[in-house]
Each structure stands twice: as structure tokens, then as C-alpha cells.
Amino acid sequence: MSGVMLAAFRHDVHKFTGESHNNAREEFAGIRVNQSVPEGADGDAAALSRPQQKQEQTVPTHDDHHRLSLITGETAYDPQKCSHSTIEGEVSELITTDDPQIAHGRWLDSDVAAAFNESVYHPYTSLKYHTLLVGALLDNYRADNTFGNLRLVVDPADDTVSFRTVFSGDRFSLRIDVDDNGCSSPRLGSRPWRSWASTWNRLTAHPLDTDSNKYDMTLDANLRRIQSWSTALQYMEDYAEWRPDR
Amino acid sequence: MTQIQQVLWELQMDYIGHSYYVSGNAILHALGQHLDPETHTEISSSQGVFVPGQFGKFPAEHSQSGVRPYLGSGLPDVEAYDDLFLQRKAIHPWLLDTRARNALNTHDLRIHGGHPTLCHETIMGRREDQRKQQRTTKWYVHAYLHADDPAVLPLDEDVMEGLQFGGKRNYGYGEVKLKDTQMVDLNELDYSRLEGAETYLIELMTPFVVESEYPEASDHSVPWW
């Protein structure tokens, strides 16, 4: 059981190391990595965040795995601070635990995973939130929760549900689950597609103060313009750090 | 004959104001500086939708097809009912998957006097070594004007020049220039896709006021201030 969930959190280590999917190493820091994820969870999570048919460079000036930020238009990668060995150290801390619940918590809090994208063709996507989405989908599928029954659920901050929480902020958490405690949370749809804005638009209990707080309104307005799930979740994290009013 | 006027303004300066759209009231207020009071009272304006001046592909339901270089920065002909809504959705479904559509469709932000302001353009490739490949995308504001008296429209182009939307106008914020405008005769449009449908999904767009500093606002069923 725990092996399958651990595989989900270790399936994309080759993106940290800059290896292609086909030439990815089998071991990193003495553990098995880059294995395929069962139940189609990896492909479904990818479909939530980026186009699947065409693989084409969407930003001509950027073709590596360092993520571009929607806030700054630049990468968080600083060659002065982020040496190869520092990154290796942080990545091994992220993935080497044998406890999949601890691994989930580390991914939720990870900075290093947020510095990488999930595809060099789509540099604004986030490896951190892609991997958390893979984990949430896989855990649901293993409990026989089909995609068509999954919902986006808003939880209080620090209310983390193992594997199913995909975003943990200071003010609220977001979870992909079938059980929403009767909150009529929006469904993700019948199949995975880039449905972020469509789903966020249908939230009934809104976690932001969009009546009067200018920074919340601006964040919300931009969130309603984003299709990609991993890009949007990462934007919420980056925005919380950027905004000067909190 | 029911005619409406489609207008596209290009943002020249950053914008401080409602971050979801430029309200119809703000557009009317700006036009009011250039119109005589009789004409001004005849005019109604839709919300102004923010549109990125980007390449795009006409959606399947549009009367035209194919990719256009500047779908977001011009006004394509309106021949069918669906054409009216091409640039009206915040998600802008016509943007190309071969470009960084999520980045191009979100506003870059700056801070002025403690307020978040929406940048009037998005610049990609900002690093020193990328200067030659820098790409700039301008933002546009798309709106419809309607008048009860058909003789009032179209408004002259010079009336729609030199407007400012939003706050901090003394600092030059919210300045726009007219990019394009055209009249649409609603009676002449092709409604065949609408007539052929069995069910409809009606989306009501309305400014929804939950609180106001305006005196005795709760007695007004339609917020007009």
C-alpha cells in the first residue's frame, strides 16, 4: 500500500535532475524513483494542467525545468544560492522518507518542488502541485472514487487530509475528494481537462474576501483567468508571499 | 432595427479599479466628459472585459474559422449570434495552446499607494540576455454601447479618445486609446445555431452590490451610482 503512494511522490525525480523521461535514472539517493504511477493518475493530473496532444515550446526564451512565476515572469532559480548539491540535498529530503503521509506533508510545504515546472514546454506549470494532484487522484482511485465523483473542497487552514489535500495555505486548504461534509463543493467534471477556472468559478463557499479586500479581489480575478490546475495552485502560494498587506 | 456599438480600447497606462472588469458605469462616466448631457443620458454601456492582445483561434461556434495573429487586439466581423461573445469571457477560450496562455491571460501586477494595479502590458523574456526576443502583449477593454434613441449611435471616434478608467486618474492611471469600433445590427445576425438548440443556458451578468457608502443605498433596486 505505502509503496504505491510513495511511488507517486517519487515519479518525477528526473525533472529535478534534468533527465528526460526515457533516460531517467532508476535510483536517487539509494531509493527507487521515476517509476510509473498506477491507475492513470499521472496522465490524468497532467491533463488538468497542460495540453496533452501537442508538445511544443510555449515560451521561446525558456526551455528548461526551472519554473517561471506568474508574479515575476522569472524563475525562482538563483545559481548563486541553488547549487546542484543544495538541490540534490533538498530533493532527497523531500522523497527519501519511507512514510507516505510524511512525504505528502513535505510536498505540501516544499519550496524546492515549487522551483521546478512539470514540463519544459509549459514553464508556468508547477512540479510541486502536479505531484500533489497525482497523489490526490491516485489515493481517490485506489478507494474506488471515480474521477466523475471528485470535487474541489475548501477546508480550514492546517486541516490536512492525507494525500487528498493539494494546497495548504495560511488561510485555507484545498482538497480533492468525494466527501465534502455537505458543502456542495463543485465537481471536477466527467473527465480530466484544464478545468481550474471552471471549477473555481463554481465554488459556493468562497475562501477569499472578494467583497472588500482589493488584494483578494485581484487574486480572484486572475484565478478566474487560469485554466491550468498546477499553475493556479502555485499562483495562490506565490501571491500570498508577494502581497504586501498581510 | 436594433444597433449596438462594439468598442475596443487599448490600455496605455496601468489601471487601478475593479479587477474583474471595467464597470459599465465607469465607462459611461468617462464618456460623459465628452458628450452633451442629452446624448449621455441616452447611452448604456456593458461591462468592459479585459482582453489580451494575442494570437487566437476562432472557436467552433464562430462564423469564421482559423488562427488570426491579433484576435485579441481587433474586432472581427460580427455576423452570427455567437460572434457577439467572442471576447466576452474572462478565460478567453480562443487563446492558443501553443503559447503560454495562462501567463498571457493573467494581469501582471504592480503596487501604487498600497493598491494592486493591473499592468497595461505583459512583457515576456525580461532577462538581460533575452532582450532581442522580448515579447510584449497589450491589454484591451471590450465593451458594447446601446442607446434607446437609435440616432445617437454610433458615437464619433473622437468622443471615445483620451478616456481614463478607474482611479488615480490625476496620476495618468487608466488611460486608454481607441483601437477599433464597429456597429452591429442585431436584426441582421444569423441566429440559426440558437434556433436549432433545444435547451439554453442563460448567464446573467450583473454588478452585485453587497454594501455601499452611498446614503440609503438599500432603497435602490438597481445600483446606479
Question: Does the pLDDT value for residue A10 go beyond 90?
Answer: yes
Which pLDDT belongs to residue B133? 76
For chains A and B, count residue pairs whose Cβ atoms are closer than 8 Å: 91
3-state secondary structure at position B136:
strand
Least confident interval from A124-138, A185-199, B24-38, B127-141:
B127-141
- Judge: A225–B210 Cβ closer than 8 Å, yes or no: no
Average pLDDT, chain B: 90
Which has more confidence, B224 or B131?
B131
Q: Greatest CA separation found in chain B?
A: 60
Nearest of B141, B222, B122, B132 to residue B181 by alpha carbon: B141
Nearest-CA residue of chain B relative to A57?
Answer: B98
Write out the residue range of the structural domain in which residue B121 sits: 3-199
Domain contains B183? yes
Distance in angstroms (rounded) separating the CA atoms of residues A93 and A87: 10
Domain contains B223? no
Which pLDDT belongs to residue B225? 47
Domain contains B221? no
Domain contains B209? no
A149-195 pLDDT per residue, tens: 999 999 999 899 999 999 999 999 999 999 888 777 899 999 999 99
Domain contains B93? yes
Domain contains B38? yes
pTM of the model: 0.93
B103-133 pLDDT per residue, tens: 999 999 999 989 999 999 999 876 767 667 7
A46-104 pLDDT per residue, tens: 999 999 987 889 998 888 899 999 999 888 776 666 677 788 899 999 999 999 999 99
Domain contains B206? no
Domain contains B168? yes
- Min Cα distance A212 → chain B (Å) is 9
- Min Cα distance B125 → chain A (Å) is 6
Which pLDDT belongs to residue B209? 59
Structure ipTM over 0.95, yes or no: no
Query: How many structural domains does chain B have?
Result: 1
Which pLDDT belongs to residue A138? 98
Question: Does the pLDDT value for residue B223 go beyond 60?
Answer: no
